[in-house]
Amino acid sequence: MTVLVAYASELGSTGEIAQHMASRIAVALGAVECRSVEEVDSVSGYEAVIVGSAIHNQAWLPPAALFFTRLAPELAKRPVWAFNVGMADALPKPFRKRGAALQQKRLRGFLPQEVPLRDHKIFSGVYQSDQMPAPLRVLFRLTGGRFGDLRDWAAVDAWTDQITAQLAKPASTSSDSITP
C-alpha cells in the first residue's frame, strides 16, 4: 500500500508533524511519501491520502485548500484523512475547548463536500512570541495565552496509529458481509 502524507506548512510545525506521521506509518505499512501539497500534481498513485495544513486566520492555508479543490475527483476515490495545526492549546485556558470546537466546525466548511473524510483532527503547533506584534503579544500573555512548542506527540501518534490500523485491515469481500 502506498500512502501520501501531504501538507501545507508556513513556519514548519505542520511539516514536522506530517514527517513524523509518515515515518510512523512507514514502519507498519512500508511505502509512504511525505510531500508538500504544492509538489503533488496527482494522487492517482496512492491508495490513501492524509492531508495537513497550518491554520491562519481560522482558515486552511491557500495551497492546501487549492490541493483539495484541484484534486477532489481523485481524492473522492480513496480514503482521505485531514489534520490541521492551529493554536487552540495556546489560547487562554477558559477558551481552549471552545476555540478548538469552533475551529473544527469552521474548518470543515472549507473542504469540498465531494471528498468524504475518514476523520479530521486538529493539533496544536509551535507558537513563538516573535510571531506576534509586541502589543498583541503582551495582551496575549496577560490573558493567559501560551507560547512554545505545544505539539502533543502522544495525540499525533495515537491518531496516526488509528489510521495505520484502518489501512492495515484487509479489504472485506462480499462473502464476509453475508451471515449464515
Tell me the residue type at 99.
Answer: G
pLDDT for 21: 98
Q: Given this model, what pLDDT does residue 112 score? A: 74
Residues of the chain with confidence (pLDDT) below 70: 88-110, 129, 131-132, 137, 139-146, 148, 170-180
Rounded to whole angstroms, how far apart are CA atoms 50 and 62? 17
Determine whether 60 is exposed, middle or buried from the number of CB atoms within 10 Å of its CB (0-12, 13-18, 19+): buried
pLDDT at residue 171, rounded to an integer: 56
The pLDDT, as a whole number, for residue 96 is 59
**What pLDDT is attached to residue 108?**
66
SS (H, E, C) 15-75: HHHHHHHHHHHHHHHCCEEEEEHHHCCCCCCCCEEEEEEEEECCEECHHHHHHHHHHHHHH
Supply the pLDDT for residue 154: 96
- Give residue-wise pLDDT tens across range 82-118: 998 977 655 556 665 666 666 666 666 667 778 888 9
pLDDT at 120: 86
Supply the pLDDT for residue 169: 82
